[in-house]
Structure 1
Amino acid sequence: MRGIRAARGTGTGEPGLFGPGSVTWALHGDPVMWIGGVRALYLQALHPAAIRGVMVNSDFRKDAWGRLLRTASFVGTLTYGTTEAAEAAGARVRKIHRLLGVDDPGLLLWVHCAEIDSYLHVVRRSGIPLTDAQADRYVDEQRVAARLVGLDPDRVPGTADGLRCYFDGVRPELAAGEDARVVDDFLRAPPVPRALVPAREAVWRRVAALAYDTLPPYAHALYGRPAPPPDTVTRRLTATANLLRCLPDELRWRLPPRHILRAMERLGEDTRPAPYSLRARAAILDRPGREGHGHGANGGDSTRWRTPG
């Protein structure tokens, strides 16, 4: 754990937009977020106008890996960077949106909601003990991120139920058109150097398949590929997440580039992100004895997954 021990810090640095006490800070350091990110791409591609804007204004086919890494770095900067760094990153994104003409609020809202819904759904379903109150707090915190990409936070869902209602309303607009098929083909078999083909088959295909399987049933219907039974998907996701969590933190946290390690250097080692520390905070946010097994946000599907005990 050399990388962690080196990140002592003084604890006097600027905490950034969210800070160590936020649900966002605790969740975004978990490796299952990468599966959530892939799920978000699958979901975002089902809005024909949104994905058309991506295809027309970016070289997705040739630079899909770069796009994925830039998105991950942006999320890392917003979560763990200083306020100045986060605001600057947001300004760059808004400028690009304006220059490319992809700053329509309706499309930006779809991209935002699909992303936040995917993160929330995957972390909860993978076993992180998140109460309903903490889930609502997370969705509310992410309205800060919505502002940075050019949205009015007051027009962005601030609760898990708000997300569910949003997806109920937008669902008739969704379809798996030609552009969605391009995204699907890429995610199932992205181009890699010949030497990395075995790793793609052994690792990436399983991650992408798992991300796809966690989509809501209507998304499976639109893509035309069924998923295993929900309980099977949940077991596979939990097992995969637990395996990823066995990787050393100092290795995992180098991607996106050292955002978490730099935050700990700035703020002190006791600010280390720990999703399972949320269990201790549950009594503060929820009523005593409440198990929190109500409705969750998962792309408009009202199924809520119990935390494996």
Structure 2
Amino acid sequence: MVDHTPPTRTRPYSSRVTTAATAPRPGLRGRLGDALFRGVAGPDGPESRRHVHGTPGPRWFAPDRPIRVVHGDASMFPGGLAALLLQSLHPLAMTAVADHSDYRNDPWGRLARTSTFLAYTTYGAADDAQRAVDRVRAVHEHIRGRTPDGEPYHASDPHLLAWVHCAEAYCFLTAHQRYGRHPLNAAGQDAYVADMARVATAMGVEHPPTSLRELRTRLNSYRPELRLTPQTREAVHYILLRPPLPKPVLPPYLLLGAAAASLLPAWSRTQLGLPVLPRTERWCVAPAGAAVTALIRYLLPPPPQRRA
């Protein structure tokens, strides 16, 4: 889900000046960071990363674009979890995942594929980014079926694709504004949504939002279609309470899950059966989420330098 941004001197859409990434320290930090990266990006993650950053050629996004700032920060961890929770509220999207994704038995494989897609479209050479999109679109063409209520779905449906896109963009950006190292200013937030629209259009989304205001409006327009189904309830329970993780990792993960849930719009948390506790979130969940995100940021290695 995360691929760290190549260091730049300044980011015009950020309210602060960036610092160059440093090489991971040897020893425990390096081992933990490498294990975390391989868990997210898969066994081929290091090689894919070298290819993404090392292949010369034009990119979809310049080094100073907000999409690189957001997708290169550890805040993508709570943001990614939040996106999964929010997306699960649409019965068509949730049924497609339940019927055609082995997320229960191979969650890390699904995470690695998502991480690789984000890396190529955000940082990769333009030809590689387009190939990544083409592969996903080819898979989507074969994903179709019916919900338990008999409603047909097709993963290539532009309306359904727009829901998935809007949920991701909203959660990634919200997580970055709360837990990111360099929160974006107002212009930067709009620019991030516009950057994401570039990828969404390539994926087949029609007229994706290009500003934060448009994103919120489009997201709210889906509310009549959303509901808590048994499949949604199972997915939420799996994501927040029963992840396939070793016991030592569970406590920080559960804190990260609570932080992710707190990023969701209040109306969606109510639909998901998740509590809305402003004081607890402000004084407990937010600091804990910030601490876990900072730890992830500390552990993850920086990207290799791109060749000219």
Q: Under a length normalisation based on structure 1, what TM-score does the superposition of the two structures give?
A: 0.73
Once residues 99 and 143 of structure 1 are traced to their aligned partners in structure 2, the CA distance between those partners, rounded to angstroms, is: 24
- In structure 2, the partner of 1:231 is 282
The 8 Å contact of residues 90 and 149 in structure 1, kept in 2 or not, is answered as yes
Aligned match for 1:18, one of 53, 61, 68: 61
- In structure 2, the partner of 1:140 is 194
Once residues 3 and 64 of structure 1 are traced to their aligned partners in structure 2, the CA distance between those partners, rounded to angstroms, is: 27
* TM-aligned CA deviation for residue 60 of structure 1: 2.5
What is the letter of the counterpart of residue 54 of structure 1? V
Residue 307 of structure 2 corresponds to residue 266 of structure 1: yes
- In structure 1, the partner of 2:135 is 92
The 8 Å contact of residues 188 and 205 in structure 1, kept in 2 or not, is answered as yes
Q: Under a length normalisation based on structure 2, what TM-score does the superposition of the two structures give?
A: 0.74
Change (3 A) 1:237 1:2: closer
Aligned match for 2:204, one of 142, 150, 162: 150
Q: Which sits farther off after the overlay, 226-235 or 100-109? A: 226-235
1:1-309 aligned within 5 A: 1-2=22-23, 13-101=56-144, 102-126=155-179, 128-152=182-206, 155-192=207-244, 196-200=246-250, 202-229=251-278, 230-232=281-283, 233-247=285-299, 249-250=300-301, 253=302, 260-261=303-304, 264-267=305-308
The 8 Å contact of residues 55 and 125 in structure 2, kept in 1 or not, is answered as no
The 8 Å contact of residues 255 and 288 in structure 2, kept in 1 or not, is answered as no
The 8 Å contact of residues 14 and 266 in structure 1, kept in 2 or not, is answered as no
Q: Which runs of 5+ in 1 are unaligned?
A: 254-259, 268-309
The 8 Å contact of residues 94 and 148 in structure 1, kept in 2 or not, is answered as no
* TM-aligned CA deviation for residue 191 of structure 1: 4.9
The 8 Å contact of residues 112 and 146 in structure 1, kept in 2 or not, is answered as yes
Change (3 A) 1:12 1:189: closer
The CA deviation string for residues 98-123 of structure 1, in whole angstroms up to 9 with x for no partner, is: 12231111110000000010000010
Aligned partner of residue 267 in structure 2, secondary structure: helix
* TM-aligned CA deviation for residue 225 of structure 1: 2.3
The CA deviation string for residues 13-60 of structure 1, in whole angstroms up to 9 with x for no partner, is: 324111202111122111111110010000000111111111122222
Change (3 A) 1:176 1:97: same
The 8 Å contact of residues 141 and 156 in structure 2, kept in 1 or not, is answered as yes
* TM-aligned CA deviation for residue 241 of structure 1: 3.0
TM-align CA RMSD = 2.4
What is the letter of the counterpart of residue 143 of structure 1? A
* TM-aligned CA deviation for residue 72 of structure 1: 1.4
Identity over aligned pairs, percent: 34
Once residues 266 and 100 of structure 1 are traced to their aligned partners in structure 2, the CA distance between those partners, rounded to angstroms, is: 38
Once residues 169 and 191 of structure 2 are traced to their aligned partners in structure 1, the CA distance between those partners, rounded to angstroms, is: 12
The 8 Å contact of residues 255 and 289 in structure 2, kept in 1 or not, is answered as no
Q: Which runs of 5+ in 2 are unaligned?
A: 1-21, 26-49, 145-154
Q: Which has the higher contact order (CA 8 A, sep 6+)?
A: 1
Aligned partner of residue 245 in structure 1, secondary structure: helix
* TM-aligned CA deviation for residue 147 of structure 1: 2.2
The 8 Å contact of residues 36 and 122 in structure 1, kept in 2 or not, is answered as yes
What is the letter of the counterpart of residue 205 of structure 2? L
Number of aligned pairs? 247
